[in-house]
Amino acid sequence: MTLDEFFTGQLESRRIFEALQAAILAQGPAQIHVTKSQVAFRRRVAFAWAWMPGMYLRGKQAPLVLTLSLRRRHPSPRWKEIVEPVKGRFTHHLELRTSAEIDAEVREYLREAWEAAG
């Protein structure tokens, strides 16, 4: 599947994703893998995923969610949810409603996840 296919009819989600993609790739090289359900970024291992909650949930949802794998539970109140699926690995979910939310704080999360995946 291509990015164009994944984001068909989802212009707002695509605009936010493009800003997110630029912020991730500003950290350094990363592979992009598109599936029916998400777009994954990886180095040695996957570290970031972008997905559209409206594909799975009813009602008003954020256009895009960023999911990051970090080695620690980050204390920011911006996270929608944090889970520890494996001891010492924390999955953080951040709802993105506009590309402006990809600010310096989010770029720091991206840097941390990108470095840990290398």
Q: Give tens-digit pLDDT for 15-71.
A: 999 999 999 999 999 999 999 999 999 999 999 999 999 777 677 889 999 999 999
CATH architecture of 3-116: Alpha-Beta Complex (3.90)
CA distance 56 to 32: 22
In the chain, what percentage of residues exceed pLDDT 90? 87
Task: Please report, as a single letter, which amino acid is at residue 68.
Answer: L
Q: Is the pLDDT of residue 105 over 80?
A: yes
Q: Measuring CA to CA, how many Å separate 41 from each of 12, 27, 34, 51, 113?
A: 20, 12, 9, 12, 10
Give me the pLDDT at residue 30, please.
97
Separation CA 33–CA 46 (nearest Å): 10
Give me the pLDDT at residue 87, please.
92
